[in-house]
Amino acid sequence: MFPIVKKRVLNPQVTLMEIEAPLVARKALPGQFIIFRIDEEGERIPLTIAGYDREKGTVTIIFQKVGYTTEKLDTLNEGDALLDFVGPLGEPSHTEGVKRAAVIGGGLGVAIAYPQAKALHEAGCKVDLIVGFRNEDLVILKDELTAACTELTIMTDDGSNGNKGFVTQALQKKLEAGEKYDEVIAIGPLPMMKAVCDLTKPYEMKTIVSMNPIMIDGTGMCGGCRVTVGGVTKFACVDGPDFDGHEIDWDEAIARGKMFRPEEAQAREKLNHVCRREKMADAAMKEGK
C-alpha cells in the first residue's frame, strides 16, 4: 500500500497529492510518470510525476477530476492509501546543452511543465515559462512557477488576470520580437500542443511535446499508447512520453484521444449516483432515520 501523506486542493477541479513511495522517489526524474491503481477493482491510470523528495521518500502527483478514477481518487484523504503505485516509467526529459528554452503549459499540463522548467532553470538555462488557464480562479502553482523560470507569463482565456489570450499568442509575440530558443517544450491538451508546433515549424525551432495517450500496462506490450512519429509507430510509455512535435501525426492522436469519451461520461455518472446515494444515507443516519 502507498499512503497519501499530503493532499492539497489547487482549484475546484485540480488536486495535489504527495504519496509515500520510497523506491519510486529514489529514481524519479522530470518527464517520467507513474501508473496507479486505487483498489483491486480500479483501472490503471498514468500520471506524470510533478515532483519528488528522495529524503522523505515521497512522490507528488497532480490530477484533474475528468473521469471515474480521478473523481474517486479525489474522495481519498491524508492517511488513506493507494493499492498500486508503479514507476518511474518512460524516458526522462533531456535537458543537456539547452541554454535558452520556452516551456509552454496549458491547463493541467502546467503541472507537468513545472518540473521540466524547474530542471532546466536549475541547470542554468534561461527559461521563458508561458502557461494558460480558462480564468484566474483556475491558476495553480503560481509561486512554484515563478521560482522555476526566468520569466513567467500567465494567460487566461477570459482575461480575468489582466492578460487575455492563448499561450500560442504569447509565444508568437516573443518569436516575432526575435527570441531564439534552443528548444520549445509544449505540454497540455493535444490541440494546444499541435498549435505550438504549427507556430514553431516555420522558424525551424526544435519543439518537444509530452504525449499522454491511453495507457494500460506501461511496458509497451498492450499497444494502447501508440503514436505515429515520423511515420513510425512509437509507444509513449517506453519511447516517450517526450517526442519531436513536428513529427507527430496529430490528426491520428487527437482522434484516438476521443475514443472513450462516451464510456468516461457513463463512469462519471455512475460515481455521481453512488456519491449522491451515500450522502443521502449519511443525512438519514444523522436524522436518526
Cβ neighbourhood burial of 112 (10 Å; 0-12, 13-18, 19+): buried
Q: Name the nearest CA neighbour of 65 among 216, 237, 275.
A: 275
User: In terms of domains, do 226 and 266 share one?
Assistant: no
Q: Can you read off the three cell numbers belonging to residue 228?
A: 505515429
List pLDDT tens digits, range 120-176.
999 999 999 999 999 999 988 899 999 999 999 999 999 998 889 999 999 999 999
pLDDT classification of 191: cutoffs 50, 70, 90: very high
How high is the pLDDT of residue 152?
95
User: In terms of domains, do 61 and 103 share one?
Assistant: no
Q: What is the largest CA-CA distance in the chain?
A: 71
| CA–CA dist 244, 97 (Å, integer) | 17
| CA–CA dist 232, 154 (Å, integer) | 35
User: In terms of domains, do 104 and 162 share one?
Assistant: yes
Total number of domains constituting the chain: 4
To the question of pTM greater than 0.75 for the whole model, the response is yes
How high is the pLDDT of residue 259?
58
| CA–CA dist 228, 230 (Å, integer) | 7
- Identify the domain boundary among 60, 89, 118: 89
- Identify the domain boundary among 89, 117, 135: 89
User: What is the residue-wise DSSP string for 49-65?
Assistant: EEEEETTTTEEEEEEE-
Name residue 276's amino acid: R
Helix (H, G, I), strand (E, B) or coil at 266: helix
C-beta neighbour count of 144 within 10 angstroms? 16
- Stronger pLDDT, 174 or 241, i.e. the higher one: 174
- Stronger pLDDT, 284 or 190, i.e. the higher one: 190
User: In terms of domains, do 119 and 62 share one?
Assistant: no
User: In terms of domains, do 120 and 205 share one?
Assistant: yes
Quote the DSSP letter at residue 31: T
How high is the pLDDT of residue 94?
82
User: In terms of domains, do 82 and 10 share one?
Assistant: yes
Burial 39-75 (b: 16+ CB within 10 A, else e): eeebeebbbbbbbbeeeebbbbbbbbbebbbbbbbbe
Residue 228 CA neighbour count, 13 Å, CB half: 9
Q: Can you read off the three cell numbers belonging to residue 139?
A: 491558476
User: In terms of domains, do 102 and 164 share one?
Assistant: yes
Share of the chain above pLDDT 90, in %: 55
How high is the pLDDT of residue 270?
63
Share of the chain above pLDDT 70, in %: 88
Q: Tell whether the model's pLDDT for residue 45 goes beyond 80.
A: yes
How high is the pLDDT of residue 93?
83
Residue 178 to residues 79, 93, 163, 170, 197, Cα–Cα distance (Å)? 51, 26, 21, 13, 17
Task: Show the DSSP H helices in 148-260 as ranges.
Answer: 167-176, 190-200, 236-239, 250-257
User: In terms of domains, do 122 and 153 share one?
Assistant: yes
Q: Tell whether the model's pLDDT for residue 274 goes beyond 70.
A: no
Q: Judge contact between 225 and 215, C-beta under 8 A.
A: yes
Segment 227-236 shows an average pLDDT of: 91
List pLDDT tens digits, range 7-24.
999 988 889 999 999 999
How high is the pLDDT of residue 92?
87
Quote the DSSP letter at residue 80: B
pLDDT classification of 240: cutoffs 50, 70, 90: confident
What range defines the domain where residue 73 resides? 2-89
Q: What is the CATH number of the domain that holds 200?
A: 3.40.50.80
Mean pLDDT over each residue of the chain, to the nearest integer: 87
User: In terms of domains, do 150 and 120 share one?
Assistant: yes
How high is the pLDDT of residue 224?
76
Q: What is the CATH number of the domain that holds 66?
A: 2.40.30.10
- Identify the domain boundary among 43, 71, 89: 89
Q: Element (H or E) spanning 153, and its range?
A: strand 151-156
List pLDDT tens digits, range 204-218.
999 999 887 667 777
